[in-house]
């Protein structure tokens, strides 16, 4: 007898795996289908994500949170402008143990995969199957999104991100550091636990600099990062490959709908994660947004009336409205900061640093934004 499924998830990255585990916990039968692997994917995954309290709570509930070596606590965050502006965040001031956790992507994916091994409600398949609801979690380059006729509205930035990892002469001290400069935004994210000497790097640079930076030797690239980071962590040594990708602000015009009329199997579809939206990485909120998507979608489906199908568009539109509203604030904030620091004229230089100094002493405003970023409401 052919296997039947309630939901087919296309895309088995962190967002797709997390959603599969959430839905299976609610006794839904899930087919999980890996997205096609990009031909230019890096041989070694150097990514690390800053995850907030809400994301940690979700992953903890699924028993998928990595150990302390692969989920480094951020006690402080230091942000420097290009003209004396600075902002400082401190977990102690907030009365919490961590502002965020820097999570190693391969370690997190391994924990999620291990959890799926013990979840009989989820079956990993090689190709999509018919189901009442298809959830698209294929990332920014989703082919299924186009198949469903969704317009993905993209505003490209004149920047690309370069990601890698470094060993540092001095310990990071559980501090996440970021430098906003006129020619780019550099972030050092602490790795390898409290006493670690390693950081994950995300360097957002103008497109015209990318080729030259990628052509540098490992030693030359390390020296460029040491200069850009103002020697804060001493001598830096490149310890991983470099990966690069274009940066963009993007949002799907529709996040849910019904299958095309010509489809042989009527069903509904919904988008989640990077398949639905992209923001600039400067605030470190990309995966937090994606995990909030799957939490919201799972909640909507769990709380449905007993007689409603998981494919009911009323439910899916409720999810769409909730998550589009949440995205507006973060999209505006990251886009505004990116635009502000991409301007080279003197008045903008003075304005942005004055703004950083004002925000540092803004009291309730700084408190509100800090707790929103932490996922504490």
* Per-residue pLDDT tens over the stretch 144-201: 998 899 999 998 988 899 999 999 999 999 999 999 876 788 999 999 999 999 999 9
Give the contacts of 90 (CB within 8 A, at least 6 positions apart).
75, 76, 99
Residue 351, pLDDT score = 59
Query: Which residue pairs, CB below 8 angstroms and at least 24 apart, start in 107-112?
Result: 107/66, 107/67, 107/70, 107/71, 108/14, 108/49, 108/59, 108/64, 108/66, 108/70, 108/71, 109/13, 109/14, 109/17, 111/59, 111/64, 111/65, 111/66, 112/14, 112/17, 112/18, 112/21, 112/62, 112/64
d(CA 239, CA 168): 10
231-249 pLDDT tens trace: 999 999 999 999 999 999 8
Cα–Cα distance measured from residue 187 to residue 177, given in angstroms and rounded to the nearest whole number: 6
Backbone angles phi, psi at 314, to 5 degrees: -65, -40
- Residue spans of the domains in the chain: they are 7-38+45-374
Contacts 24+ apart (CB under 8 A), 110-117: 111/59, 111/64, 111/65, 111/66, 112/14, 112/17, 112/18, 112/21, 112/62, 112/64, 113/17, 114/64, 115/17, 115/21, 115/62, 115/63, 115/64, 116/17, 116/20, 116/21, 116/32
Mind listing the pLDDT tens digit for each residue in 257-286? 987 655 555 589 999 999 999 988 766 788
Q: Is 3 exposed, middle or buried (0-12, 13-18, 19+ CB in 10 A)?
A: exposed
For position 365, what pLDDT does the model report? Answer: 47
Element (H, E) at 159: strand 152-168
Q: Which CATH superfamily is domain 7-38+45-374 in?
A: FAD/NAD(P)-binding domain (3.50.50.60)
Contact between 295 and 22 under an 8 Å Cβ cutoff? The reply is yes
pLDDT band at 87 (very low <50, low <70, confident <90, very high): confident
Confidence band of 346 (pLDDT split at 50, 70, 90): low
* Mean pLDDT for the stretch of residues 206-226: 96
pLDDT value for 356: 54
Average pLDDT of the chain to the nearest whole number: 86
Q: pLDDT per residue over 24-57, tens digit each? A: 999 999 999 998 765 455 557 898 999 999 999 9
């Amino acid at each position: 007898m052919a296997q039947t499924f309630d939901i087919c998830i296309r895309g088995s990255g962190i967002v797709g795996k997390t959603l599969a585990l959430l839905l299976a916990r609610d006794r839904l039968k899930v087919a999980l289908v890996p997205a096609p692997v990009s031909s230019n994917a890096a041989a070694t995954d150097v990514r690390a994500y800053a995850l907030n309290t809400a994301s940690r709570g979700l992953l903890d509930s699924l028993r998928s949170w990595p150990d302390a070596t692969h989920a480094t606590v951020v006690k402080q965050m230091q942000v420097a402008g290009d003209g004396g502006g600075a902002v400082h965040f401190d977990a102690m001031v907030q009365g919490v143990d961590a502002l965020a956790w820097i999570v190693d992507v391969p370690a997190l994916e391994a924990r999620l995969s291990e959890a799926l091994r013990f979840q009989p409600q989820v079956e990993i398949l090689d190709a999509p199957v018919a189901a009442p609801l298809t959830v698209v979690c294929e990332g920014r380059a989703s082919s299924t999104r186009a198949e469903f006729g969704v317009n993905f509205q993209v505003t490209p930035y004149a920047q690309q991100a370069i990601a890698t990892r470094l060993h540092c002469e001095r310990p990071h001290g559980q501090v996440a550091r970021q430098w906003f400069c006129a020619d780019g935004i550099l972030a050092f994210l602490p790795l390898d636990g409290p006493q670690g000497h390693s950081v994950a790097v995300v360097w957002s640079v103008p497109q015209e600099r990318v080729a030259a930076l990628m052509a540098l030797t490992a030693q030359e690239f390390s020296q460029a990062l040491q200069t850009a980071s103002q020697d804060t962590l001493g001598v830096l040594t490149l310890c991983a490959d470099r990966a690069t990708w274009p940066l963009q602000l993007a949002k799907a015009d529709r996040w849910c709908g019904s299958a095309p009329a010509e489809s042989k199997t009527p069903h509904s579809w919904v988008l989640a994660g990077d398949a639905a939206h992209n923001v600039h990485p400067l605030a470190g909120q990309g995966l937090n947004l994606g995990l909030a998507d799957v939490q919201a979608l799972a909640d909507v489906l769990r709380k449905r009336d007993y007689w409603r199908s998981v494919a009911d568009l009323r439910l899916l539109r409720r999810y769409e409205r909730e998550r589009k509203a949440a995205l507006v604030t973060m999209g505006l904030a990251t886009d505004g900061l990116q635009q502000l620091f991409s301007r080279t004229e003197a008045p903008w230089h003075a304005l942005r640093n004055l703004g950083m100094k004002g925000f540092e002493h803004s009291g309730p405003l700084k408190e509100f934004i800090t707790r929103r970023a932490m996922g504490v409401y």
